[in-house]
Amino acid sequence: MGKKTYVLVGTGGRAEFFYGAIAGRFRETAELLAFCDINRVRMDYANRMLREKYDYPEVQTYSSDRFDEMIAELKPDCVIVTSVDRTHYLYIVRAMELGCDVITEKPMTTDAEKCQEILDAVARTGRKVRVSFNYRYAPHHTKIRELIEDGAIGDVTSVHFEWLLNTKHGADYFRRWHRDKRNSGGLLVHKSTHHFDLVNFWIGSQPETVFAMGDLLFYGRENAERRGVTKFYDRATGNPNAEGDPFALTLDDNEHLKAMYLDAESEDGYRRDQSVFGDGISIEDTMSVTVRYQNRALLTYSLNAYLPWEGYRIAFNGTKGRIEANVVEQSYVNSGGDKALEGALQGASILVFPMFGEPYKAEFEEGEGGHGGGDPVLLNDLFGEPVEDRFNRAADHVDGARSILTGIAANLSMAQERAVKVSELVRFD
313 backbone dihedrals φ, ψ, rounded to 5°:
-125, 135
Exactly one of 6, 7, 8, 11 binds ligand NAD (CB under 6 A); which one? Answer: 11
Three-state secondary structure of 274-311: ECCCCCCCCCCCEEEEEEEECCCCEEEEEEEEEECCCE
Please state the separation of Cα 346 from the chain's center in Å.
20
d(CA 318, CA 382): 34
Exactly one of 85, 273, 285, 310 binds ligand NAD (CB under 6 A); which one? Answer: 85
Rg of the chain on CA atoms, in Å = 21
Exactly one of 61, 109, 110, 134 binds ligand NAD (CB under 6 A); which one? Answer: 134
Stretches 7-15, 150-158, 305-313, 360-368: which one binds ligand NAD (CB under 6 A)? 7-15
| Minimal distance, residue 123 CB to ligand NAD, in Å | 24
Q: Does 106 bind ligand NAD (CB under 6 A)?
A: yes
Residue ranges with strand state E in 10-145: 30-37, 60-63, 78-81, 101-104, 129-131
Burial 157-178 (b: 16+ CB within 10 A, else e): ebbebbbbbbbbbbbbbbbbbb
Q: Which is nearer to ligand NAD, 35 or 316 (CB)?
A: 35
Strands 311-318 and 156-166: antiparallel
Q: Does 138 bind ligand NAD (CB under 6 A)?
A: no
Exactly one of 33, 84, 98, 341 binds ligand NAD (CB under 6 A); which one? Answer: 84
Stretches 20-28, 76-84, 298-306, 415-423: which one binds ligand NAD (CB under 6 A)? 76-84
Strands 4-9 and 207-215: unpaired
Peptide bond into 246 cis (omega under 30): no
Exactly one of 5, 29, 60, 64 binds ligand NAD (CB under 6 A); which one? Answer: 64
d(CA 365, CA 373): 10
| Minimal distance, residue 383 CB to ligand NAD, in Å | 15
Q: Does 109 bind ligand NAD (CB under 6 A)?
A: no
Residue nearest to ligand NAD (CB): 12
| Minimal distance, residue 417 CB to ligand NAD, in Å | 28
Stretches 38-46, 116-124, 203-211, 291-299: which one binds ligand NAD (CB under 6 A)? 38-46
Q: Which is nearer to ligand NAD, 143 or 194 (CB)?
A: 194
Interface residues with ligand NAD (CB under 6 A)? 9-14, 37-39, 42, 64, 82-85, 87, 105-106, 132, 134, 190, 334, 371
